Amino acid sequence: MNTRTTAAALCAAALLALTACSSSNNDAKSTSTPSVNYSSAEAAAGIPPKPDAATRTALLAVLKAINPALTADEDKAIDNARNQCSTITGGGNADASAQARFSTSDHQVTAAEAQAINAALKSALCTS
């Protein structure tokens, strides 16, 4: 099971990395702008802005590949992912935090799932 989860996370991370590539089209529509809901307090806490549609879709696909229960509430999954970046970039215990943050009454995140979540977020959403 560990190997399967790790493989899924690595494949998903590669998929997310591909979605971050930009085209050579440099018109104004192709530039990324921060969300209007992104505050300086969030930035100071290490929480990235809300992802654009393509990144959101890819991130949800990665989380679903790790375990479909992680995306039962897609908006909550995205919020959890953004907040998890604060722990990843802040030097806290990221695996324990992911287990607590992504667990629900319907699904308890395993240590292997937490590692896969963090690996995917490090490559796709969180900046250091």
pLDDT at 17 > cutoff 80: no
Stated pTM of the model: 0.68
Q: Which token pair is 69?
A: 């229960």
Say which residue, 40 or 115, is predicted with more confidence: 115
Asked if 99 and 109 count as a contact pair (C-beta separation under 8 A), the reply is yes
**d(C-alpha 62, C-alpha 123), whole Å:** 11
Q: H helices of 37-73, where? A: 40-44, 53-66
**d(C-alpha 71, C-alpha 77), whole Å:** 6
Residue 90: CB atoms within 10 Å: 12
Average pLDDT in the chain = 77
State the pLDDT at residue 12: 52
State the pLDDT at residue 63: 94
The model's confidence at residue 25, banded by pLDDT at 50, 70 and 90, is very low
DSSP 32: -
Length of the chain as a residue count = 128
**d(C-alpha 24, C-alpha 117), whole Å:** 31
